[in-house]
Amino acid sequence: MKFVAYERQLQGTGASRRLRRADKVPGIVYGAGEPKMIELDHNALYHALKKEAFHSSILEMELNGQVEKVLMRDLQMHAYKQQVLHIDFQRIDPKTKIVKKVPLHFINEENSPAVKTEKCTISHVIADLEIQCLASQLPEFLEVDLGNMNKGQSLHVNDITLPKGVKVVTHGRPNPVIATVVAPVEEVIVEAAPAPAADAGKGKGKGKK
């Protein structure tokens, strides 16, 4: 994906506030050279952020007529408004080793024996994984095939096939669970107990002696 950024001359809280009022987003690009203060059009950036690839793939940033390859590294949003407050990018080259979260794309869930035959559901325990690789090997997403899952099974990190040169960063957790099969909840029908018979003598007067 490609986007356009502009060099930002003014810095500080007041300058950033004025930029936001003008529908601009202050940002910075760093790595492989001097950090540069930048600004971006808010509406164009906001729409780009809705695309998954903008968060997880190498981007082409046009700045001062030059195109640089960057990764989005940090994003600050307003607490309750749909407004981007600040954004950070990192310059990269094909030989840069990076650590980045990438989304998981689950496929064949509806064709798995667990869902198709055993009427279970499959819970996606996590939605993304942190990986380490060269920038040139960064995948836009990781595909997770659920087509062979059966009742009672879970799928772990070690069960998925990773692209060449890609390593999952688990931060010391041994083989985390990615997805697990959830058995259907059996509906138990409880019949109401029959109402007690009315007392035959209820409401009648006492007999005469």
What is the reported pLDDT for 187?
A: 65
Burial letters 129-154, b for 16+ CB under 10 A, else e: bebebebeebbeebebbbeebebebe
What is the reported pLDDT for 5?
A: 92
What is the reported pLDDT for 19?
A: 85
What is the reported pLDDT for 205?
A: 52
What is the reported pLDDT for 197?
A: 64
Token digits of residue 169: 């960063």
For the domain spanning 2-92, the CATH number is 2.40.240.10
- What's domain 98-182's architecture? Beta Complex (2.170)
Report d(CA 63, CA 7) in Å as an integer. Answer: 7
What residue spans define the domains of the chain?
2-92, 98-182
Report d(CA 5, CA 14) in Å as an integer. Answer: 20
Say if residues 71 and 136 touch (Cβ distance below 8 Å): no
Q: Confirm whether 2-92 and 98-182 share one CATH topology.
A: no
Q: Average pLDDT per run of 10 along the chain, which is 209 residues long?
A: 87 81 92 87 94 91 90 92 92 87 95 94 95 92 95 94 93 91 78 64 52
pTM here? 0.76
